[in-house]
Amino acid sequence: MAAAQVPNNSDADVMVRVLPTPNPNALKFVVNRDVKRVGKATFTRPSEATGLRLASDLFEIDGVRQLHFFENVITVTHAEEADVDTLRLEVTAVIQRGMPVHNAEFLLEEERKKADRSKLPPEVQEIEEILDKTVRQYLQGDGGDLEVIALKGHTLEVRYQGACGTCPSSIAGTLDAIQGILREQFDPNLEVVTV
């Protein structure tokens, strides 16, 4: 898709490229600037975006249901009935207006608490490393991610983030693949469930 551009007050124009994701109700907006320098952030409702102007403004667009900020990508999950062409134009315009004053260094409270994996149990650290090497890059490439919630015996609880959270393939195919990888590399009896 063609990139949209608008001049701003900084030294470079804000460029936005819109790409599809495997989730039919999500689009990736790739920006030529960082939107989140450290970590990732998923907002499932406007109240979670309080204090972050760019996210708040995006939630004001009719049909926007969820936002996921990661590196230079904003993934927008939209209502099934949304007019995708109009949504694409409106989201691009908000990003172009908001990026010159957006602080890509923002951290959510939960990120401040979770930044250090060294406090996690050794088994969970090992799982996180396996997921980093095998799965996360693909999920992130599709505008989403995976959060490990808890390991209880032979059951691993995970939560999909971003576009993955509402994607039909994440419910079955992706979850089976993750379980297969972790059974092979961590615990042959592991059961992976979403929460």
In this structure, the dihedral spanned by the alpha carbons of residues 186, 188, 194 and 195, taken in order and rounded to 10 degrees, is: -80
Q: What is the pTM of this model?
A: 0.68
Q: Are 97 and 174 in contact (CB under 8 A)?
A: no
**pLDDT of amino acid 3:** 44
**pLDDT of amino acid 11:** 38
Whether pLDDT at 182 is above 90: yes
Q: What does the domain layout of the chain look like in residue ranges?
A: 4-108, 116-194
What's the rounded mean pLDDT across residues 12-37?
Answer: 92
Burial of 195 (0-12, 13-18, 19+ CB in 10 A): exposed
Whether pLDDT at 9 is above 60: no
User: What strand order describes the sheet that includes 36-43?
Assistant: 4-6, 14-20, 26-31, 73-78, 64-71, 36-43
CATH 3.30.420.40, applies to 4-108: no
**pLDDT of amino acid 114:** 57
Task: Band the pLDDT of 113: cuts 50, 70, 90.
Answer: low
The per-residue pLDDT for range 19-30, each reduced to its tens digit, is 999 889 999 999
- Looking at the domain that runs over 116-194, which CATH code has it been given? 3.30.300.130
Least Cα distance to 27 among 135, 133, 141, 143 occurs for 143
Place of tokens 């979670």: 48
Mention every residue, 6+ apart, whose C-beta is less than 8 A from residue 37.
Answer: 71, 104, 105
**pLDDT of amino acid 12:** 55
**pLDDT of amino acid 30:** 96
Taking CA 20 as the corner, what is the angle to CA 17 and CA 23, rounded to the nearest 5 degrees? 145
The per-residue pLDDT for range 145-167, each reduced to its tens digit, is 888 999 999 999 998 887 777 66
The per-residue pLDDT for range 122-136, each reduced to its tens digit, is 999 899 889 988 888
